[in-house]
Amino acid sequence: MILDELYMRRCLQLAEMGAGTVSPNPMVGAVVVHNQQIIGEGYTSPYGGPHAEVNAVQEVIAKYGEADAAQMLKNSTIYVSLEPCAHFGKTPPCADMLVRYQLQKVVIACQDPFAKVNGAGVQRLQDAGIEVVLGVLEQEAQWLNRRFFTRLSQHRPYVILKWAQTNNGFLASLEPKQQWISNSASQQLVHKWRAEEDAILVGTRTALIDNPALTVRDWEGSHPKRVLIDKDLSVAADSAILNADVETFVFNAQKTDWSTHVKYIELENFDLYLPQNILYQLHLMDVQSIIIEGGSKTLQMFIDAGLWDEARIFSADFAWENGLPAPIVNGRLIERLQVGSDKLEIISRS
């Protein structure tokens, strides 16, 4: 069991390498072990490409050649952080590939709740006479793919709240002007987070005062889709958030227009169940995760609706005499970190 956990931890490390590229697929890692030696590793390719198991097996073939690899695989165990798929999607079923190479044993961290898998992958392996072990580091694997599981179980994106506050709890100035609270290291970390999620959202006030581009500049990675709540279309067309760098969705009460990179989506009864309607529309567009970077009103709207999963809160090492108070969330502390002079707390709602 100790070795099983060791190899599975490597799977989880590999899986994280797909962050920001595999959505709406889950992040998966795979390790092939022969005589207690790792002979192949892989993680899921960017969306539409080969899955982790295929990449791991192909690495074995590349190292040892087709004939020797085939013989070695018959006497090998493959560790996978999520149940191998059993259906045709963008790629053929991974379970069928493992059966074809006659792997001796498959160790799986957690079952895939997707309706077209959900035990079918395990069953296909067992029917072929392959030994299957399920549940090694299950909780860790579920946490890693919390975005994927939330999308399947709640039919909405995984919601991450993010803000910076002074050490006495103020989020923004009372005056309509931009004032940085977090330090440069924290700002770079936020850009890393943006590259890992599908979308990022702000409200009208933040767009008008800060004029944010909401892109990834201080980290290597893809820009997230931008989401703007702008009921009366008050944000000017030449604002940074509406530039051509990335697709932007504007939820409003005025018009629907999908003719350019800016997609305007009109919501009837705009103020009624606004966060629910926004998340439902994004779910339909395969947005699996979103960072809410809006001001206090936008953040509080999602908090009041109970529509958040994780909060990432930076606290600076200085105080203000006054300002707009930061939201308060109740949840389970996951992690507390020091980021330069800032303190970061990560809180889970569940």
Mean pLDDT, rounded, for 43-56: 93
pLDDT for res 17: 95
- 283 appears as a binding residue in the annotation: no
Confidence of residue 120 (pLDDT cuts 50, 70, 90): confident
Q: How many angstroms separate the CA atoms of 4 and 137, rounded?
A: 9
The pLDDT of residue 182 is above 80: yes
Tell me if 150 is assigned to a ligand binding site.
no
Q: Provide the percentage of residues in the chain whose pLDDT is more than 90.
A: 88
On the question of pLDDT at 213 being above 80, the answer is yes
* Residues contacting residue 282 through CB under 8 Å, at least 6 positions apart: 156, 157, 199, 227, 249, 290
> Pick the catalytic residue: 53, 59, 83, 196?
53
Work out the pLDDT band at 40, boundaries 50, 70, 90: very high
Distances (CA, A) of 158 to 52, 67, 81, 306: 23, 44, 20, 12
Annotated binding-site residue? 194: yes
Give me the domains of the chain, ranges plus CATH numbers: 1-149 (3.40.140.10), 155-349 (3.40.430.10)
Query: Which pLDDT belongs to residue 106?
Result: 97
Average pLDDT over residues 210-229: 94
282 annotated binding-site participant: no
| Alpha helices in the chain, H assignment, sequence order | 2-16, 52-64, 66-74, 94-100, 120-127, 138-144, 146-154, 184-196, 204-210, 274-284, 296-304
> What is the pLDDT, as a whole number, of residue 188?
96
pLDDT tens readout for residues 100-119: 999 999 999 999 887 667 78
Per-residue pLDDT, 115: 65
Stretch 182-204: mean pLDDT: 96
Mean pLDDT of 237-244: 96
Bond prior to 327 in cis (omega within 30° of 0)? no
- Average pLDDT of span 139-165: 96
pLDDT of residue 178 exceeding 90: no
The pLDDT of residue 89 is 64
- pLDDT for 203: 97
Beta bridge partners of 312: 162, 346
Q: What is the pLDDT of residue 175?
A: 84
Q: Does 196 participate in catalysis according to the annotation?
A: no
Q: Is 11 annotated as a binding residue?
A: no
Beta-bridge mates of residue 136: none
Average pLDDT over residues 286-299: 94
pLDDT top residue among 267 and 220 = 267
pLDDT at 88: 58
The verdict on whether residue 124 carries a ligand-binding annotation is: no
What pLDDT shows up at residue 90? Answer: 65
User: Nearest CA to 188 among 167, 217, 222, 162?
Assistant: 217
Give per-residue pLDDT as tens, 66-96.
999 999 999 999 999 999 988 656 667 899 9
CB 21 within 8 A of CB 40: no
Name 132's bridge partners: 106
H-type alpha helices, 111-176:
120-127, 138-144, 146-154
Task: Please indicate if the annotation marks 59 as binding a ligand.
Answer: no
Look over the chain and give the mean of its residue pLDDT values, rounded to a whole number. Answer: 94
Q: What is the pTM of this model?
A: 0.92
Q: Is residue 293 annotated as involved in ligand binding? A: yes
Is 258 annotated as belonging to a binding site?
no
